[in-house]
Chains A and B, each alone.
Chain A
Amino acid sequence: LKKLVIIGGSAGSFKTMSRLFKSLPENYPHTIIVCLHRLRSARTGFTEALSLGTKFPICEPLDKELIKPATAYLAPANYHLIIEHGYTFSLSTDLPRNHSRPSIDITMETAGEVFKEKALGIILSGANMDGARGMVSIKKTGGILIVQNPKNSEIKTMPEATLNLIKPDYILDVDKIIKFILEI
């Protein structure tokens, strides 16, 4: 596998994700995993909405699906998304963490353990503290961190919570985050 871009966000980050996917060339080689807080009952529509205007493959993984390069995966509603050794996904209905299922922390910390220095962790706009500990895990295992500039985040709680726990490699506005992802 090439690199893994793992993105966490909540309120205010959907637009950023939509812009990112519209910018991605069809042959972008890396894996992208997106864990956004979403309505637990909205089991359909999210993938379809983010797929508008892009040819890059975007899907919600099934349990134990193999992680492929050049593909974007969205954490499904009402499940935690865990990355297993052996590069497969596991889903879980365990209790919410930080009031969230999917929990960004769980996806990031398990992704960091498997992908190590190949992981690029990104925290976008959001309204709670989920993701901050996950970013710490990614750093511990050698990954790179980007936090959206809180000054230009629609909701700054999530980026600020991360900055309170760890110094990221970069604090960037959305345009530069997208540019960074495209150029790795």
Chain B
Amino acid sequence: MPEISIVETKNVIRAIRQQNNFDFSNYALTSLRYMLDKVISEHHLKYPDILINRILEDPEFFDEFLYDISIPATEIFRDPEMWQFLKDDYLPSLYEIFDHIVIWLPDLNDSYELISLIILLKESDLLRKSTIYASSLSVKNIDEIKKGVFNNKSLELGIENYKKLNLTLPIEHYLEKGIVPYSFKESLFKEVIFFKQNLHLEPVPEELNLIIFRNKLLYYSLDFQNTIIQHLTNALQPDGIIVFGHKENPDEFINQHKELIPLNAFEKIFKKINKVQFV
């Protein structure tokens, strides 16, 4: 079981709320305890009370904390079937409706989802018709994402996924040559607009047509998941598309609010209803 107890976790949550106005009580408790264990271990803090003292007394530590609790997205092109659907079906249909589309990847913890999207858009020659926003809780995270660095194992898994997509260029085309650990070319990120967000995923970019938010709801309580889904749905333009992780469960919200319809129920790809159609 996680090392940190429930009582200690609630003390940490209280300290963070008091000092930084971030409310982690919206997180799934046991998942959060594993995240806190990781921070305590990586910073050799020994006890949760020492973590609380660092949070209360060292304002610069908090960004580091937000970086360290972040959960990675596992690999480039995770669930390649989802990316294939996006490339073949849903992206073309969006660009049929809009000349230019605005995309947001909220709450990024690494570059994997972002780089997967950029490669897909480049392959389809749609990058020039897109504006991409990427946001993260921590500034350190954003700096790391821009470097595009990833380890050997991720590359191995990424190549395996990449091959399933039958893209024209080899993945090496997008990598810096001869550098270990491997990294994607920084030029790939030059058109991306990065910004820092809060736990409520604010601020929100305007005129959004596509939101990729896979495997992020997992870390929230069920109530807060619904709050966030509503927030993202509000941010989306009619006919816009939102993608969740395939084991996430937005169904309760979707059944109640009828604002999103499934395009692909297995991959959890939804389209925002254009209410004008029903007038």
Contact = CB atoms under 8 A, between A and B. Distances in A.
Given A63-B245, A63-B248, A91-B247, 20 more contacts: A40-B157, A41-B80, A41-B161, A43-B246, A62-B248, A62-B251, A63-B217, A63-B247, A85-B6, A90-B218, A90-B219, A91-B248, A93-B72, A93-B215, A94-B72, A106-B34, A109-B2, A110-B2, A110-B30, A113-B1
Interface in B194-246: 215, 217-219, 221-222, 225, 245-246
Contacts of B161: 41
A137 interface: yes
B71 interface: yes
A93 B31 contact: no
Contacts of A65: 249
Contacts of A91: 215, 218, 247-248
Contact of A92 (B29, B81, B219, B221): B219
A95 B72 CA distance: 7
16 contacts: A41-B160, A43-B79, A43-B246, A60-B247, A62-B248, A62-B249, A63-B247, A82-B34, A84-B29, A85-B29, A90-B219, A91-B215, A93-B73, A106-B34, A112-B1, A113-B1
A84 B220 CA distance: 12
Nearest to A105: B1
A101 B72 CA distance: 13
B271 interface: no
A83 interface: yes
A85 B31 CA distance: 11
Contacts of A63: 217-218, 245, 247-249
A40 B79 CA distance: 9
B74 interface: yes
A92 B245 CA distance: 11
Main secondary structure of the interface of A (DSSP, over half): loop
A176 interface: no
A82 B249 contact: no
A65 B247 CA distance: 10
A162 interface: no
B246 A94 contact: no
Contact of B225 (A64, A85, A93, A95): A64
Nearest to A101: B74
